[in-house]
Structure formats: C-alpha cells, structure tokens
Amino acid sequence: MQGIEEVRTVLSTPKNILITSHRNPDGDAIGSSLAMCLWLEKKGHRVMVAFPSEYPAIYHWMPEIEQVQIYDVDPDPIAEFVNHVEVSIILDYNSLTRIDKLGKLLEDKNLYTILIDHHLYPDPIGDFILSDTSASSTCELVYRFIESYDRSNLNDLTIATCIYTGILTDTGSFQYSTSPALFRCVAALQEIGLDTTAIHDRIFNTMEEKNLRLLGHCLANRMEILEEYRTGIIFLNKHDFQVYDIQRGDTEGIVNYLLKLKNVHMAVFIRQQPTIIKISFRSKGDFSVEEIAKNYFNGGGHRNASGGYTKSSLAATLDLIKAILPSYKEQLIKPII
C-alpha cells in the first residue's frame, strides 16, 4: 500500500489523534471511526472520535460509542483537543466542507492527515490517501489499511464488529458494491468469531412501533410514482416530523422501499428539516444520482446513493426535481435487467 511506510513512521511513537467523519454519521462512518479508534488505542495513541452531529440511536450498542464527541452538542472538548492534535484522520468523507465548523477548526492546522474514503471526487486532502470508489465501504478500506499495516491486529472481535457494521449497512446487507475482496474480508472477520446474525438483528430488527407506522404513512400517503420517468418520490413535511416524533435516524432506509418497484429506477426521498430540505437519492443500474445531487442539490455521494439539500421550500424542491426529470428521461427509462 503506497505511503504506508510513512504512516508507520508517524505512528511509531504515541500521538494525539483526532478521527472525524461526516454529518449525520451512518453505520459506515461510525463503524470505520470506532474500528480505527480501537486499533490506534491498542497501539498506545490518545484518540478522540468527533462527529459534527448526533448518530442514530440504533448504533448505541456499538463498542466505545459513548466516548464519541458531537460538535453540535458540545464543541468545547473537541476544540480543546484540537489544540494538542498531531494527526487528523478523515473517514468516510472527502471534503472538509462535509464537517462544517469542525472542518474550520482543522483547516489551518498543519496536521499529518490520513484520509480513507470511498466517495467520488475526493478533495486532495491528506498526506496518506486511501481513496477507492469501487470499495463497498470505508470500513472495508479500514480493514485493508490495518491488514497491510499489521495483519495480526485484525484478530480482535471488537474491531471486527465495527468493521462489519459499516460493510453491512453500506452494502444494503450485501445487495450492492460487493466484490470477491469484500467477501474475503467478511470471511476473515467471521473466522475470528463474529456473530453476523446478532449484528444484523441489532441494526435492522430493533425498530420502534412508531417507525413502522411512519413507514406505513410514507408508503400510503407520501409516495408519488412518476412512471414515465421511472422515478419514485417520498416526501415528509414539518407536520409529519411532529406527528410521528421523527428523531435522527428514524427515516433511515425508507428511500430504499421505492427501489422495490419494478418501474422505479430512481428513488428520491425529501425531508423538510428545520432549516433545510434534505434529499436522499438512490438508483438502480448505471443511472448516476451523484450527478443530480451535485449539479442541482449542493451534494454528492456515489453513483447509486447520493444526498444533497436545498434552502428553498418543500414545494419548490419537489418542482425542481420534476423539472429536471425530462432531461434525464432517456437514461432513466433504459431497461435495467
């Protein structure tokens, strides 16, 4: 792995290390950050994991998660730690703009920076960069990184649990972005005794009743299918957020239901949040939602899974999406299977 020798030199003495990941951290952001943290702590480093915003409650069970600092909740411990930080590790994002004010804290520091990520178009940040857009997840890349650093370090069930969580969630339970290398990695994790069924249950089978009712509401009352453009849209307005007491993470996975329809090639899920309209895009086949997220919604991500936002109204956002569709019609109606 190119550059790993330099990393080895940097990490050869105990360091103060800050690990950051993106706003609204998902299983991959959390899993990769915790895996890296646990690994570095075993090597004698002092590590802080910081996210710009809270993580979903379904990840409360993860090892060491109680140590994670949230900038939105309390920036002070992070700001204080940054004064002593020597190494910055950027996981599952590739532009400091994705971590808002936390990014500003790091911007002017001249820190040795390690970037491990699988999103498209990385900014050239990082002294050591492991960026592979064909990888299933940042967790798979963290596995690859630790493996090339020192294979014996992977014989740790806690680290394996964190890595597996990100792989499981970012591949939609092994539906997409799979590869022989990924399955070899998972096989190695299972060989050390990982209970994959238990992890699956913890993440996917622990819903509250109100969440299943919210899903019912989305499908019954908030879903629009634009068959002509092979597009499905679900939106939630401010009122829905109140009625269903929607908390962080409660809307996770809803967008994927649209893709279950034979005639939906692109899924769009729009949420009216207090200050912005947040949008998730998903697609099947070659159709790139990344381009739409980037060009029209200040966002980005991957070809088949991207996100973005607008600062306009919910109605204007819906109108904008519908206005864009005709120019993508030819690509959208292309048969997938």
Q: Name the residues that contact ligand 5GP, by CB under 6 A.
A: 22, 98, 119, 280, 299-302, 305-309
Specify the stretch interacting with Mn ion by CB under 5 A; choose among 12-20, 87-95, 192-200, 326-334. Answer: 87-95
**Minimum distance from CB of 295 to ligand 5GP (Å)?**
12
> Rounded to the nearest whole angstrom, what is the least distance from the CB of residue 8 to ligand 5GP in the complex?
29
Tell me the C-alpha to C-alpha distance, in Å, between residue 66 and each of 123, 128, 203, 285: 30, 28, 17, 39
Partner whose binding site includes residue 307, from ligand 5GP, Mn ion, none (CB under 5 to 8 Å by kind): ligand 5GP
For 138, the token pair is 């940042």
Q: In what order do the strands lie in the sheet with 223-226?
A: 223-226, 231-236, 266-272, 277-283, 305-310, 300-301
- Residue 232 binding target from Mn ion, ligand 5GP, none, CB below 5 to 8 Å by type: none
Residue 92 interacts with Mn ion (CB under 5 A)?
A: yes
- Using alpha carbons, select from 281, 271, 273, 285 the residue that is nearest to residue 325: 281
Q: Return the number of the residue (28 or 290) whose C-beta is nearest Mn ion.
A: 28
Least distance to ligand 5GP, CB of residue 11, Å? 27
Taking Cα atoms as reference points, which of 16, 13, 20 lies closest to residue 101? Answer: 20
Three-class DSSP category at 19:
strand
170 binds Mn ion (CB under 5 A): yes
Q: Which does 270 bind (CB under 5 to 8 A by kind): Mn ion, ligand 5GP, none?
A: none
In angstroms, give the least distance from the CB of 68 to ligand 5GP.
Answer: 18
> Residue 302 touches which of ligand 5GP, Mn ion, none (CB < 5 to 8 A by kind)?
ligand 5GP
Least separation in angstroms between residue 30's CB and ligand 5GP is: 13
Residue type present at position 225? I
Q: Report the amino acid identity of residue 200.
A: H
Distance CA 34, CA 159 (A): 8
Binder of residue 22, out of Mn ion, ligand 5GP, none (CB less than 5 to 8 A by kind) = ligand 5GP
Question: Taking the complex as a whole, how short is the minimal distance between the CB of residue 66 and ligand 5GP, in angstroms?
Answer: 24
Task: Please identify which residue in 17, 20, 25, 28 interacts with Mn ion, judged by CB under 5 A.
Answer: 28
Q: How are beta strands 16-20 and 87-91 bridged, if at all?
A: parallel
In the complex, minimum distance from the CB of residue 270 to ligand 5GP, in angstroms, rounded to a whole number: 11
**β-strands 266-272, 277-283: how paired?**
antiparallel
Nearest residue (beta carbon) to ligand 5GP: 307
Residue among 283, 220, 292, 213 nearest 255 (CA): 283
Provide CB contacts within 8 A for 204, sequence distance 6+: 173
Does an H or E element contain 110, and which?
A: none
Q: Where are the beta strands (DSSP E) in the chain?
A: 16-20, 46-51, 69-70, 87-91, 112-117, 128-131, 223-226, 231-236, 266-272, 277-283, 300-301, 305-310
Examine residue 290 and tell whether it contacts Mn ion (CB under 5 A): no
Draw the binding track, 119-158, toward Mn ion (x: CB under 5 A; -: no contact).
------------------xx--------------------
Taking the least distance from each CB to ligand 5GP, the nearer of 194 and 223 is 223
Residue among 40 and 142 whose Cβ is closer to ligand 5GP: 142
Nearer to ligand 5GP, 98 or 265 (CB): 98
Q: What is the closest distance, in whole angstroms, from the C-beta atom of residue 49 to Mn ion in the complex? A: 16
How big is the chain by its Cα radius of gyration, in Å? 20
Q: In whole angstroms, how far apart are CA 200 and each of 36, 58, 173, 335?
A: 21, 11, 8, 32
- Partner touching 126 among ligand 5GP, Mn ion, none, CB below 5 to 8 Å by kind: none
Q: Give the binding site for Mn ion (CB under 5 A).
A: 28, 92, 137-138, 170
